[in-house]
Amino acid sequence: MKNSDLRIGTRGSVLALAQTDWALGEIRRIDPTRKVERVIIETTGDRDQTSPLASFGGTGVFVAELQAAILDGRIDAAVHSYKDMASRPTEGLKQYFPPREDVCDVLVGCPLDELREGAVVGTGSPRRVAQLKRRRPDLDIRPLRGNITTRLTKQIDGTFDAVVLAKAGLKRARLFDPLRDFDLDPKEFTPATGQGQLALECREMEDLPVEEGVLTSALDRRLAVVERFFARELGFGCHTPAAVWARVEGRRIAAVIDILAPDGQESLKIEVPVSLSHRDGDLQSALASAEERGMRAFLREVEASTPGA
């Protein structure tokens, strides 16, 4: 790919375009001689914005078609929201991880404690449903899909009293409003595995023009790998109300694993330490510690009670 034109694929949503345009701008800054163009690819998930994601693939549905376009040469690279990617890397591709954005969810429309009893809240995420029910079992939580502007519109027009969105996406799309969007504390509302993290992907034998601290970050790659390891090894599916959040605490990584029953009335959240260095043995030891504390057994109970799991 060196010194050749660079075609970056993207979905056509406001957020996908914003993320891709940011990456394009940085690549042009790093390598001003390179011709870089944006190629919009419509995915199955974009064409059907009403069916639950799990009905046509779940996690990875927005990513797989872009990955196929890289592999067959229609595009050279793509920018993904890492939380949308499948739990295992796709053969023939490699990833770069830029510095992570804010990881927390926000409640659009009203602070959680100020929502009226029985308020209607929109989200399509089983994790968010269970977390909201754990905190506010009185809420009327209803399914909501669509791109970021569609979901915002549903709150503005009164269809929902509030909707839950990722703060990172709102900020990247320049739609975040601190007077309207209220943080859900990540220590209580564990963010989705990989939330706030972008991944730039290209063919394995090629390289993108990147710069440490801008388009790639060794630390954020490590955090992303840690989160994905636990989600993969514990077998989180697209129906599972669960998340892993890894953050730096002192000279180590604290990995929080949060699994909830669908109705939020039962949950198990534990924190295990992981080394900052890239040692697989540390991850296996941390996983064993989580299992000893009942994590896998509780997960089996949750999956047995989760529709479609």
Mean pLDDT across 50-64: 62
Catalytic residues: 84
More confident residue, 45 or 200: 200
pLDDT tens digits, 184-241: 999 999 999 999 999 999 999 999 998 888 999 999 999 999 999 999 999 887 788 9
CA distance 247 to 223: 7
CA distance 23 to 32: 13
**One CATH from 3.10.20.30, 3.40.1530.20, 3.40.50.620, 3.40.190.10 for 6-98+197-214:** 3.40.190.10
| CA–centroid distance for 165 within its chain | 11
Whether the domain at 105-184 and the domain at 226-305 fall into the same CATH topology: no
CA dist., res. 154 & res. 150, Å (int): 6
Which fold, 226-305?
A: Double Stranded RNA Binding Domain (3.30.160)
In whole angstroms, how far apart are CA 166 and each of 15, 108, 238? 11, 10, 17
Question: What is this structure's pTM?
Answer: 0.88
- Write down the CATH number for the domain with range 105-184: 3.40.190.10
Is the four-CA dihedral 226, 232, 238, 244 of positive or negative sign?
negative
Q: Can you tell me the distance from the alpha carbon of 257 to that of 255, in angstroms, rounded to the nearest whole number?
A: 6
Burial (Cβ within 10 Å: 0-12, 13-18, ≥19) of residue 130: buried
Tell me the domain boundaries of the chain: 6-98+197-214, 105-184, 226-305
Cβ atoms 163, 154 nearer than 8 A: yes
Q: What SS3 state is found at 174?
A: coil
pLDDT tens, position by position, 135-182: 999 999 999 988 899 999 999 999 999 999 999 999 999 999 999 999
